[in-house]
Each structure stands twice: as structure tokens, then as C-alpha cells.
Chains A and B, each alone.
Chain A
Amino acid sequence: MTFSLFFQSLINGLNQGAIYALIALGYTMVYGIIRMINFAHGDFIMIGAYTMFYTIPLMANAGMPVWLSVLAAIIVCSVVGVVVEVIAYKPVRQAGSMSALITALAMSLFLENLAMVLFGAKPQNVQKIFDLPTINFLGVALPLNVILTILIGVIMMAGLQIFIKKTKIGKAMRSVPQDRDASILVGINVNRVITITFAIGSALAAVAALMYCTKYPRVTNDMGSMMGLKAFIAAVLGGIGIIPGAMLGGILVGLIEIFVKLFAPGWYEAITYAILIVILLVKPSGILGKNVGEKV
């Protein structure tokens, strides 16, 4: 493999991986805090993408900068995320993990079908928010779009790390999964922390939608299901419930996918999943996961 091909694949893999990582964070944060797999999480990419699809022309017509539609997507996703949590998930939280899982699956199907009714089944083209040229750097073609996408992903992840390390709400988001009773005793309103977690996870999905649409400017009602599934696998691979694990898992899945595609284009999904199965066979709790039984 030539250096330039390797380098190209590396940044493509990082680009893909950063998208998975941002989505995986949503799965892992929610799992960390309420031990629930939010299967509807992937569909928030679709919600974010449709929001941008409809708001970009609005912004352009109103003479406002188009990146404001990213803000709109973030707001819409957070609000829908919170509404889904409060209306559908909170009431079944005490009913056991199976009920929660089924509710999340139902929510995913509901959102996808609602989108089909509202926006149609025909794929739509999302206008690009930014369209940067490809430059030539030391003989390697550098698409600046991809570089910027990776950069956005890195900034979001670094921002999230700082947020959960330094802010009060962030610390509460870390303490609740570790010990719910002790968190209540020090004065944390656990329900509020759960709601905020859903809002942040959904907002990250909106950013992932921006990154995805920059590369593949197409939005369909079911675009979130495959992305969501892969991001979920990435979260498990890194160690579900562990925030740095989701980032690591996402980047790995992205890199594996792109490099496998290079050598065996038709096989890439099969081989990607096979590699993941092998990793999980060796380390069932995920790469950063600790082998601890569930606390009673």
C-alpha cells in the first residue's frame, strides 16, 4: 500500500470513527446511568439530519448563516430526546430492563415510521453546511471537509470530557452510575441528571448528523438504524457505560471498516463484525471494561 493511500484511508477511517464515536457516546452515557440500551438513539441522527434539511434553506432565504441550522438540529434533537425520555422511558424504568428495551425498540420504529409519514420515504439531499476544497499536502490529497469533520468530533469529545470532569452536572453524571443512593444523599436529583443525560446524548447525535451529512448528503427515514447499530457495537466494544470507551470503540470501528473496505470491498461488513466478535470473545466487557459483576 502506498503511503498516500494509507494516509487517505487513515483520515477516512478517523472521519467515520468520529461519527460512530459521537453516536456511541449517547448509548454509553444512557446505559451508564440507567442500565438501558436506548435503541432509538440512532434515529436521532435522522431527526438531526431532517432538521438541517428543512432549516438550511430557511436560513439561507432569511440571509442568516447556514450553520445556525446545526444549532437548530441540536436544539430539536435535545428536546425530542428529553420528551422521549420523560413520556416513554421514565414510566417503565421501574418495570425491569426487558420492558425498557422493548419500549426503546418500539420508540425506534415509531420515530422511523413517523418520519416516513411526515417527510416521505424518498431520500432527500441535504445541502452542505460547509464545502471546503481538497488541498495537496506533501503529495497527499487532504479533503478539508474530512479534516474539519474530524476536528469537530475531537472538539465535541474533548468538550464532553471537560464537562463531565469539571462541572457540577458533569460530576453528578459520573456519580449517579457509581452509586445512586449516595448521589441522592449528597443532594443530586437523579431524575434531572437522567433527563440532562438524554439531552446531551441527543445533542451529540445532532452533531454526528452534521458530520455524516457532510460526507453523505442524503437523508432517509431509516438512516439512523444502521449507523445506530454500528455505534452501539462500538460502545460495547469500548466497554459500555464507559465514556472514553465509546470514543475508542467508535474510532476503532471506523478504522477497521475503512481499512477492511480497502482490501475486501464486498466483504467489509462481514469482516468488520467478525473482528468485533473476536475482540469481544477475548474481552467480553469491552476494551476498557472492567470485569465486575453487576452491583446489587
Chain B
Amino acid sequence: MLEISNLSVSYGAIHAIHNVSLKVNRGEIVSLIGANGAGKTTILRTISGLKKADEGEIRFEQTDLRKTEPSKIIRLKLAHVPEGRHIFPQMTVEENLEMGAFADQKDMSATMEDVYNRFSRLKERKRQLAGTLSGGEQQMLAVGRALMAKPKMILMDEPSMGLSPLLVKEIFSIIKEVNQNGITILLVEQNAKMALSISNRAYVMETGKISMEGNAGELLKDVRVKKAYLGQ
């Protein structure tokens, strides 16, 4: 569904991503784990066109994303829940969800009802300004906003960041549920254990390169992964 080949990205003279290739098949949860600064977020931002690539190819289904105007990518039904949530703080919860459907307003109220059923907290707070929500609620809102676009695939960047262990569990079960409803997921996480536990496959990144890849269950048992990312 999503295929990246030989991707290189840099910030000025600094190479952030070097010759990375990865693939996500329809229906999978694939996670991208690795230390802070390994380039995981940069990969997601490059897929969404927020960052320009130097070289390589990014294909989503039939479309070459490097040649796609960034604001048109959501119309291909590829959504992105960015790191740090990036909700619209001065808009209400409901307005934020409406913004999620900006590119495709068809059946908006039905989709919103679905989102509210999934996240009852959001429904309770729909008239509240999004900036006043707690971190966990903001993360739910960010996911809800992405779902409003009725995506086929979601790029999810550090959904567990800054959340309490209980909320981390909740957000991961939501991701799993979203995936079971047929949405493919590329997940970037520092919480490697949690990410691997819900993923089909995973890639391990180290300083801009992919150092390991494979079945999530096997990586969870791999001695090197255990040592480096699972603190065991």
C-alpha cells in the first residue's frame, strides 16, 4: 500500500534519513521504532509532504507522493496524526473534528457520530476549546480528527508521548481497534514494547538508517532489540 524506496532527507548539511526503504501492506500495523533523533518523525513528515525529500521514491497505492501537493495527500485517504497532537487549540472539539473532514465533507455527521461513539469524552466536551483538553483527550481528538477524513491508512507519530501508563494502554487499544476496522497503520513509537505488541511487522531505525526489520513478535524477542530498546 505504501512503499518507500531509497529515501534520503536532509536538514541543510545534516543527513537525517539515509537510503531508507520500507513497505506497509494493506491491513497491517507496521511500527517504526528507534531512539530519539533516529529520523522516525522525519520519515512520516516526508511522506506527508511537510518535509521535502532529497532522493528516493514514496508511493502510496498508485500515486507518487513526492509529486503530490501536500494538501492533496489527505484526498488520497492517507491521514497523519502528528507528533505532539497539533490540534487547533482555539477551536472547539467539534470544530476540530469538522476540520478533519475539510477535504471530504461527504457523510460528515455520520462519521462524527462514529468518532463520538468511539471517544465518548470528546462528545461530552464538544463545545469546549480544544486547547483546554488534557493531554490524553487531545491525543484522542488528534486521532478522531484523522478518522474524520475516512482514511485508508493513518501515519501515527508517538501517540503515547506524555501520557500516563493507563492512557498509553487505552490509546494502543484504540489503534488496534482502528486497524481492525480496516485502516492500515504506520506507527512511530519510542515505546517499543507497546508498539511491537500490537504490530505485525516493524523496522528499527538508528541514526537515519534502518538497522533491523522483521516480524514484530520476533523483534520483541531479539536480544539486540531487548538490550537497546526494551531495557532488558
- State whether the Cβ of A179 lies closer than 8 Å to any Cβ in chain B: yes
- State whether the Cβ of A134 lies closer than 8 Å to any Cβ in chain B: no
B interface bracket (residues with beta carbon within 8 Å of A): 20 to 34
Which residues of chain B have C-beta atoms less than 8 A from A190's C-beta? Answer: 71
- State whether the Cβ of B82 lies closer than 8 Å to any Cβ in chain A: yes
Structural contact, B88 and A187, CB atoms closer than 8 A = no
- State whether the Cβ of B60 lies closer than 8 Å to any Cβ in chain A: no
Ordered by A's residue number, 17 sampled pairs between the chains whose C-beta atoms are within 8 Å are A171-B99, A172-B102, A174-B90, A174-B91, A179-B88, A181-B86, A182-B86, A182-B87, A184-B49, A185-B74, A186-B102, A186-B145, A187-B74, A187-B75, A187-B149, A188-B71, A189-B71
Which residues of chain A have C-beta atoms less than 8 A from B145's C-beta? Answer: 186
Structural contact, B149 and A186, CB atoms closer than 8 A = yes
- State whether the Cβ of A175 lies closer than 8 Å to any Cβ in chain B: yes
Which residues of chain A have C-beta atoms less than 8 A from B139's C-beta? Answer: none
Which residues of chain A have C-beta atoms less than 8 A from B103's C-beta? Answer: 186-187
Which residues of chain B have C-beta atoms less than 8 A from A185's C-beta? Answer: 48, 50, 74, 79-80, 82, 86
Contact with B along A179-219 (1 / 0, CB 8 A): 10111111111100000000000000000000000000000
CA A85 to CA B183, docked complex, whole Å: 41
- State whether the Cβ of B189 lies closer than 8 Å to any Cβ in chain A: no
Structural contact, B95 and A171, CB atoms closer than 8 A = yes
- State whether the Cβ of A90 lies closer than 8 Å to any Cβ in chain B: no
Number of interface residues of A (CB under 8 A): 17
Which residues of chain A have C-beta atoms less than 8 A from B89's C-beta? Answer: 178-179
CA A185 to CA B88, docked complex, whole Å: 12
CA A218 to CA B88, docked complex, whole Å: 44
Structural contact, A181 and B50, CB atoms closer than 8 A = yes
Contact with A along B40-60 (1 / 0, CB 8 A): 000000001110000000000
Q: Knowing that A178-B90, A182-B88, A186-B100 are A-B contacts, what are 12 other residue pairs whose CB atoms are under 8 Å apart, sorted by A's residue number? A: A171-B99, A171-B102, A174-B91, A181-B82, A182-B82, A184-B48, A184-B70, A185-B82, A187-B75, A187-B103, A187-B149, A189-B69
Structural contact, A186 and B99, CB atoms closer than 8 A = yes
Question: Helix, strand, loop or mixed for chain B's interface?
Answer: loop
Which residues of chain A have C-beta atoms less than 8 A from B71's C-beta? Answer: 184, 187-190
- State whether the Cβ of B98 lies closer than 8 Å to any Cβ in chain A: yes
Q: A187-B102, A189-B69 are in contact. Are A179 and B86 (CB under 8 A)?
A: yes
- State whether the Cβ of B224 lies closer than 8 Å to any Cβ in chain A: no
Residues of chain B touching chain A, judged by Cβ–Cβ distance below 8 Å, are: 48-50, 69-72, 74-75, 79-80, 82, 86-91, 95, 98-100, 102-105, 145, 149
Which residues of chain B have C-beta atoms less than 8 A from A182's C-beta? Answer: 82, 86-88
Which residues of chain A have C-beta atoms less than 8 A from B86's C-beta? Answer: 179, 181-182, 185
CA A190 to CA B70, docked complex, whole Å: 10
Closest Cβ–Cβ distance, residue B124 to chain A (whole Å): 23
Closest to B85 in A: A182
Closest Cβ–Cβ distance, residue A293 to chain B (whole Å): 14
Which residues of chain A have C-beta atoms less than 8 A from B87's C-beta? Answer: 179, 182
CA A39 to CA B79, docked complex, whole Å: 38
Closest Cβ–Cβ distance, residue B72 to chain A (whole Å): 7
CA A189 to CA B89, docked complex, whole Å: 20
Closest to A165 in B: B95
Closest Cβ–Cβ distance, residue A171 to chain B (whole Å): 7
Closest Cβ–Cβ distance, residue A124 to chain B (whole Å): 44
Structural contact, A175 and B74, CB atoms closer than 8 A = no
Which residues of chain B have C-beta atoms less than 8 A from A189's C-beta? Answer: 69, 71
Closest Cβ–Cβ distance, residue B79 to chain A (whole Å): 7
Structural contact, B91 and A175, CB atoms closer than 8 A = yes
Closest to B83 in A: A181
Which residues of chain A have C-beta atoms less than 8 A from B72's C-beta? Answer: 187
Which residues of chain B have C-beta atoms less than 8 A from A181's C-beta? Answer: 50, 82, 86
Which residues of chain B have C-beta atoms less than 8 A from A168's C-beta? Answer: 102, 105
CA A171 to CA B95, docked complex, whole Å: 9
CA A185 to CA B52, docked complex, whole Å: 15
Contact of B98 among A171, A179, A183 (CB under 8 A): A171
CA A147 to CA B105, docked complex, whole Å: 41
Which residues of chain A have C-beta atoms less than 8 A from B74's C-beta? Answer: 185-187
